[in-house]
Amino acid sequence: AQSVTQLDSQVPVFEEAPVELRCNYSSSVSVYLFWYVQYPNQGLQLLLKYLSGSTLVKGINGFEAEFNKSQTSFHLRKPSVHISDTAEYFCAVSKISGGYNKLIFGAGTRLAVHP
């Protein structure tokens, strides 16, 4: 079975500062990795995903994440945040298979960007 740990429940940061949201996963098989963002009272928007290939993945809104297999991590980074990045961020994992793939989500990290 897979599991996801998001190490920080809340991350406060000032506008234009860099930010890193941490995600570690556990799995006995190879996995796909995802980051989703959820703005207040809205749905889940895919930021980026790692399927294979380059371990540095670039997503929307200036976010990127690096897959580190040895450390089983997939941390999300942004070099300079905006007020509009204030949201809940979820890391998720699914096993690689030819069939269906349920996503296992972490508990989420609330990013609060202050002026």
Rounded to a whole number of angstroms, the minimum distance from the CB of residue 57 to another protein is 13
Residue 32 in the binding site for another protein (CB under 8 A): yes
Q: How far is the CB of 38 from another protein (least distance, A)?
A: 8
- Comparing CB distances to another protein, the nearer of 42 and 80 is 42
Q: How far apart are CA 36 and CA 43, in angstroms?
A: 10
Looking at the Cβ atoms of 87 and 92, the one nearer to another protein is: 92
Residue keyed to tokens 């699914």: 94
DSSP 15-56: TT--EEE-EEEE-SS-EEEEEEEE-TT---EEEEEE-SS-SE
28 interacts with another protein by CB under 8 A = no
| Residue 14 CA neighbour count, 13 Å, CB half | 2
Site for another protein in 36-55 (CB under 8 A): 36, 41-44, 46, 49, 51
Instruction: State the Cα–Cα distance between residues 109 and 11, nearest whole angstrom.
Output: 7
Give yes or no for residue 27 binding another protein (CB under 8 A).
Answer: no
Q: Collapse the DSSP code of 63 into the 3-class scheme (helix H, G, I; strand E, B; otherwise coil) and give the result.
A: coil
Which residue, 2 or 15, has its beta carbon nearer to another protein?
2
Contacts to another protein by CB under 8 A: 32, 34, 36, 41-44, 46, 49, 51, 90, 92, 94, 96-108
